[in-house]
Structure 1
């Protein structure tokens, strides 16, 4: 009997380890890195060029970025499509191809804005539509493949690895693009954009080659049954208390997280007089801080998992409070001007952002396979849509706030100080929400209880 029991446990353990190994997880991380590099080009470099070199108000690029997030409201539909289809890889490669084409078109539209605003803006709207569709289709399908192809006990760690790689891709792209753009010209910008797009598409194709056949069959992917229809899937998710609470937390915290995205490089140019290449590299320092924060939180979260009550919640709160303090320091920098250790300040902000982000991502992956019948694609799509709305709204509010404050206060430093202060307050509110956001999914899934916890 004992031998039989041991044999059964061995078989169960072997089943648990089927699916993606660490190499497979890293390959999905390369897809995330490709997506991040292309999005960085659009949301930082083109944003700065529109505001500083062309002289447009910050609300215009912010509105375009907000539009690409609005397009991502369709993420649940794309996730549901990959759930019901036969290949998530096709959704990933197709999405990256559309994203790359959109980024190149957005670059051309930016150049056109300097000579013909109406034509350039019309082209930009089309370009950012493609960007939103590409990010949503590729990103949702990649995370769904990860959630359904990795054993439950590895999901949080796998999410941390792939998102750390995404940030690493953003950092590498920021420094590389910053160097390649010197000396700056519109022609050079166009060539760099096209090169980045082709390189990231090629990397994604190589990363996903025959990858899906290595995936495990966990959660609802294991039963082989038909995925529920879209309306039924959304209804089930919204009935879950843990899923509802987490959706609200994601929305509020990501508004705070994204408000500085579209104003950090213009801030460096307007207040500190940095050139495009310099401010792009400053963005790289911010992303480098995020990368280190994610690594620390990922390692620390794994080392202390189960030893402290509410351990995941503590990491989230620490990241939010650290971000608020770093933003308060940026408010001081806005009045101090050149001479302030801006690079260090931005790095600390990124570090705190990273601690917060990887903890929240771990909770998201833990809930991905917790539904009664809903599959990972549509669930990741719902949270991705909530995040996209928050990112678009946060970026737009930050940019509009700067525009209005600059007009009212007639002083760039004071305008940026006000927006940084508002963002710091939002991070404090997010920390309070994290302290209150507890609970478990009501869905009776046959997985360990810790997989359905939010911040308990």
Structure 2
């Protein structure tokens, strides 16, 4: 048996829970370190880079779930690790106010747990989708679950943004504690007995990990797509750690307002994904390759707009520009996800989890690298420039990488893969 649409939506709640927790660590806690605690932006950049670096283990998680045993145990275990890590990260922010050494120690442990949790849970979830979803539903399943993740990110950022003002350390702990508890419970309910009567893994596979990974890397399409994922996600994540500090330092946003800004951006991502799905299915417009290229170019243009708003200051319409950036981010991301799900089942059999792990690792490396480079560039440039100039240069560099990603997509992506595969055809 394969996953029904109802079961696919259930698994989407796991993605929603993942997004709800991760957004706290990459937006709210990052903002508090840079603005309220006056720590250099490179510090949260290194911590977030650590949790992405730990996700180099993604191919291992995917391979382990390929070679035997049910995947739900990895999904739940990973979510528990992620929840504990996020709560510890919040405690680490508070510890910085008392002792830098203590705060750093707690934060390193916390972000290591976050990386392990996201890697184990996220990769196993995608592998479960790839192996138990009917071929004609795979791209749609990926889109549905990704939309739910973006919705979880936007909803959490919006609600937390409203609740956290006026900011106090105790309020932060309470909010993070509630979010991680709810996310863990939702995950357990979502995957409860979902693998019953499903054949997620056919039989144990004795192939060594490195041999299986080399087998996947030898596939030209898988290798080229890995490189594209790294390039595009580097651009996608360069602004992740600096957008909220930019809003606070240049536009005078409060912690709640800047967290809500993150929610608005992800709301734009959600709308962009949904718009592509509707246009692709209702009007059969375009191929995945074209949507990816349009999204990348539009993201570049939005970043240039955000740069030009800096000199205007607090009166500038920053929120609409950030929503526009999110819209084009969502457009390119949903098309890339559709390609990913189609390619996951291609090539050597019984390597779906390994492929998803490889692309997940490429995304994780790019996210950590992009975030770290963005934060590091801002810190270096602020020494000799104004905040507006420093942030602006980084946004322009990010726009250039998006253009490079669009160029690569034009060369490697299949022109014949219809965008209608993004949504259900039944």
Q: TM-score range by the shorter chain?
A: over 0.9
1:233 to 199, 209, 212: 212
Question: What's the TM-score, normalizing by structure 2?
Answer: 0.95
Q: Aligned partners of 2:211, 2:42: CA distance in 1, in Å? A: 38
Structure 1 residue 98, shift from structure 2 partner = 0.4
> Structure 1 stretch 372-381 or stretch 329-338: which is displaced more?
372-381
For residue 373 of structure 1, what is the aligned residue in structure 2? Answer: 349
> Does the 8 Å contact 2:302/2:325 carry over to 1?
yes
After superposition, the Cα gap between the structure-2 partners of 1:143 and 1:234, relative to the gap in structure 1 and judged at 3 Å, is: same
> Does the 8 Å contact 1:236/1:374 carry over to 2?
no
Within-5 A mapping of 1:352-391: 352-391=328-367
- Root-mean-square deviation (CA, aligned residues, Å) is 1.9
After superposition, the Cα gap between the structure-2 partners of 1:375 and 1:63, relative to the gap in structure 1 and judged at 3 Å, is: same
Within-5 A mapping of 1:7-406: 18-213=1-196, 215=198, 221=201, 224=203, 226=205, 228-303=207-282, 311-406=287-382
Structure 1 residue 303, shift from structure 2 partner = 4.2
> Does the 8 Å contact 1:145/1:215 carry over to 2?
no
SS of corresponding position for 2:383: helix
SS of corresponding position for 2:166: coil
Q: Could you list the per-position Cα deviations for residues 86-143 of structure 1 after superposition, in whole angstroms to 9, with x for gaps in the alignment? A: 2111100100000000000010011101110011101100100000000000000000
SS of corresponding position for 1:32: helix
Structure 1 or 2, whichever has the larger Rg, is 1
Structure 1 residue 229, shift from structure 2 partner = 2.4
Q: Aligned partners of 2:143, 2:349: CA distance in 1, in Å? A: 26
SS of corresponding position for 1:212: coil
Structure 1 residue 214, shift from structure 2 partner = 5.2
SS of corresponding position for 1:408: coil
> Does the 8 Å contact 1:233/1:374 carry over to 2?
no
Q: Aligned partners of 1:256, 1:353: CA distance in 2, in Å? A: 10
Q: Aligned partners of 1:65, 1:169: CA distance in 2, in Å? A: 20
SS of corresponding position for 1:55: coil
SS of corresponding position for 2:371: helix
Structure 1's consecutive aligned runs of 4 or more residues displaced over 2 angstroms after TM superposition are 214-217, 223-229, 298-305, 448-451
Structure 1 unmatched runs, 5+: 1-17, 441-447
Question: What's the TM-score, normalizing by structure 1?
Answer: 0.89
Structure 1 residue 153, shift from structure 2 partner = 1.1
Q: Aligned partners of 1:62, 1:369: CA distance in 2, in Å? A: 34
